[in-house]
Amino acid sequence: MTLFWCLDEVEHSSDCSSSQHGEVVNEDELLRWVQNILRRLLRFAAQDYFPSYFMPKCCQPVWLGERYLKQFHMRLYQRGIRAYTDLLSLNDQQSRDHWLKYNKSLFIYSHLMYWSVLSDDDELELFVPSTINPLTEEDVCTTLLPTN
């Protein structure tokens, strides 16, 4: 789905790449595609769902173990995590929570993966929602697509 969203974004922009004219994709263009795909994946992870490209009002959870939308954010919220910056600075009690430690490492590794493909000129960006409160956020999705 992420690739479709990225393709759509390119189609609606004025930036015409060489591959749109049937030429071979060069190294810089391939790197831009990888960066765009990873950036889009991190945005979906920050919102804790991804919309189907073909039916945008139908969404899927981002994380494999989720049974419903926003389950990941709900778990963070229940453990006292109100923003992703809280995840980066766990208190003593939270540091003993294996689930929180695991998700802190997922957050860090996913950003490191993205940052590793950035050039020296690119600005580092954290992909985080301003707050993690799934109870007050308005869902843009009306339907949950089956996961199987």
Q: What pLDDT digit, counting tens, does each position of 82-116 carry?
A: 887 788 889 999 999 999 998 888 888 888 888 88
In a domain, 97, yes or no: yes
8 Å CB contact between 134 and 78 = no
Q: First and final CA of the chain: distance in angstroms?
A: 15
**Cα–Cα distance between 79 and 147 in angstroms, integer?**
26
In a domain, 96, yes or no: yes
In a domain, 61, yes or no: yes
**Cα–Cα distance between 75 and 101 in angstroms, integer?**
13
In a domain, 18, yes or no: no
Helix boundaries (H) for 12-137: 27-47, 71-78, 84-88, 92-95, 98-116
Q: What pLDDT digit, counting tens, does each position of 108-146 carry?
A: 888 888 888 887 787 877 777 666 666 665 555 655 555
DSSP-derived letter for residue 18 is G
pTM score: 0.70
Q: Work out how many domains the chain is built from and give that number.
A: 1
Q: Kindly report the number of other CB atoms within 10 A of residue 69's CB atom.
A: 21
In a domain, 65, yes or no: yes
In a domain, 46, yes or no: yes
In a domain, 55, yes or no: yes
In a domain, 47, yes or no: yes
Q: Which domain holds residue 95?
A: 2-13+24-144
